Structure 1
Amino acid sequence: MRNIKRKNSAQRIAKLVFLAWFITFILAVPSGAARLELLEIKDRILDDRTIIESISFSMTNNTLKSVSVGLPAGAFNISVNGKSTEAVNGSVAVVTNCETCAIHLSYGLKNAVKKESSESYVFSRTLNFPGKVERMEYSVFLPPGYILGNKDMTSDPSIVPSASEIKTDGTSIIVVWKEAKPVLPQRFYLKYHGHESMESAKSEIINELSEWAVLLLISIFACLGFLAGFLLGTKKKRMPLEEASLLEKYVPASLLSPDEKEIIRVIKESKNTITQKEITRQLNWSKSKVSALMTNLEHKKIVQREKIGRNYKVQLVKEVR
């Protein structure tokens, strides 16, 4: 009986020793792989449809001496942290001899934009990245003078997946996607087209040379339009967009940017009858900036645009308070 008790006691001691060793081993093992805190990718589309892509990412808890980053086929003018380099077997080795690292890559790409017609283009990009990413922000800059959408006015979506934000830097329209813990690889797609053809641009220059005559005609037609509207009375209230029912909904003004509020102000002062070109003229802003803001307001379902030739008729469909 005593031998059995001694045997059980010895087994308990052995288990305790093994458990203590196991815990010590677990604590001695490194805490895990490096964390990719933020991945920022920017694609700038040039007029010749070349893409300049830049990638910035930060790593914490890093124990790796280097990481291999795969590049898209045909990448050229490659640089890592400002230094030119060459791809080997489609990838570049990035030195990461640091616990907390900030890495920046850039290169050029071709064949990411397809031409659908004389002024319509489709941008498509599939993003992938090694390891798990905590946050990702992907931005695409359209060429100056180009706007989002289908030039043929079809109902097909022009941005897939839906953008987190559409903005402008005063020169280009910028489409932004923001995701937490993104699932990669993922495909991004958008359609864009030229705001005006070269012929219409030439025509606009000619018109500007005789701007005084145009302004005089506009003034005359504005007076005639005001008089006709006053005489017609109730007929003016019959609108094809059924504005009366749509304006029952409203949007808090706090949700709009200062530039968006300015556009809403101009539309209201025009008594909800104005064109996009007239908004551009009154605010003295660039066409690309106004186009970007109008696209954003249209996505928010605050305004509605109706294509008229090479222009848009703009109306409020939600009241802003």
Structure 2
Amino acid sequence: MNRRELLKAAAALPLAQAAFSHAAFAQAAWPSRNITMIVPFPAGGQADLAARPVALALEKILGKPVIVDNRAGGGGGSVGNAAAARAEPDGYTLLMTLSSLAVLPEADRLFDRPVAYEVSQFAPVARVLADPTLLAVPASAPWKTLQDFVDDARKRPGQIPYGSSGPYGTLHVAMEMFAASAGIKLLHVPFRGAGPALTALLGGTVQAMASAPGTLKQQVDDGKMRVLANWGAERIPSFPNLPTFRELGYKDVEFYIWAGLFTQSALPAPIMTRLREAMAQAVKSPEVIKTFETAGSPVAYMDAPEFAKFVAADSARLIAAVKKIGKVG
């Protein structure tokens, strides 16, 4: 290096140091303003149930407001997921989403549509809830058992309407998985989220839906709905008398609706570490624990490393299910 190059490098060094110090300070000072937690569904569903108490707990821990933004649209949560994927990786836009996160890009490819986002754009932060899905029908429906439902569906192919949170969302995939195994055809009626689908079930617009225990328990307790089967491998404490699909002979029908917090994969490591620490505290909050347990969905926390492995395994199983289901409406 000649004298001119040496002087030039020396002159640039303070600027580089200043830039590095500024970036480090910006990360260390996080958060310095409001944080947005995108929920890609309307209020009333599993993701919303997970987001609101966690957001309140994070506010207390981080000292800044955490604002829940219900950004529905696109079917199954794709609009909100894509918005979070495109956000600046600075820790100020988080995503509380469901297991459909990995399914939706595959559905886009299945239909030769532009892919709204890729799962690789996200980094898992923490799993919050993980429940088996339940099959619910109105209390006024004629079906008292799953066999009653299947028998009727076989007599009237394509005539029993069921609601979902959108094409290839969690509730859609669960129902189509069951329908394929039972050899029945149902009428899919997509909504913008589980909340509107639940309202439609209560109002009689649809006659069945798959949903998480936390969004169904109060309605079942109030005598407004009946549950016929559980997509989990085992019975659950909040519905101890409800048989699983496996128990009823559907060995390949298993589905879980989990909710977890994600951020952009390019998020700086110091912010990710702080966020993980805050989430570990948040899920231990008495208010969070009480809210989830009252809803029949106890905390199912996983930290980032374990959650990343869980997401990879669950996504592979769901993607295989989507490919098996194929193009359905």
- Using the size of structure 1 for normalisation, the TM-score is 0.29
Q: Which has the higher helix share?
A: 2
Structure index of larger Rg: 1
Higher relative contact order (CA 8 A, sep 6+): 2
Q: Which has the higher strand share?
A: 1
- Using the size of structure 2 for normalisation, the TM-score is 0.28
